[in-house]
Every structure is written in C-alpha cells, then in structure tokens.
Amino acid sequence: MNTTRRDFLRYCGMSAAALGLTATVRLRVDEGCANPNAPTVRWLQGASCTGCSVSLLNCVSAERP
C-alpha cells in the first residue's frame, strides 16, 4: 500500500478528531517528539524467519559500531 505524506497526515488528523483530541494535546505530543533527551527507538520488522530475533540477540551495545 503506497501512502503519500498528505494522505498520512489527513488520516492522523481524522483519527485525532475521532478521538476528540484537542490542540493542547497536540502541542504536548509535539513537545514530546521534539525532546532531544528522548530514548532511542529501535525498529525490528519481525517478518523474517529468524533475522529479527537474531539481530536483537546479537545487540550488545546501543552505540554504533
């Protein structure tokens, strides 16, 4: 499924409206996303046979090699 940035933002806006989120909540989310001290997020696809779990188990440090 190919989704454009515009479609994604439209979907997010409709989801926020459906949940009744206010502009105040949006500002708090923006502040949280802009935090430079936020933890690093690691994305594991999880669709391969063992590659994802092996990659996770082989990780010994959060620093790049």
Output 31 or 52, whichever has higher pLDDT.
Answer: 31
> How many Cβ atoms sit within 10 Å of the Cβ of residue 54?
11
Label residue 22 by pLDDT band (50, 70, 90).
confident
Q: What is the pLDDT of residue 37?
A: 83
Q: Tell me which residue has tokens 């690691």.
A: 42
Query: What is the percent of the chain with per-residue pLDDT over 90, rounded to a whole number?
Result: 0
Whether the Cβ atoms of residue 10 and residue 3 lie closer than 8 Å to each other: no
Residue 40, pLDDT above cutoff 60: yes
Q: Tell me which residue has tokens 């459906």.
A: 18
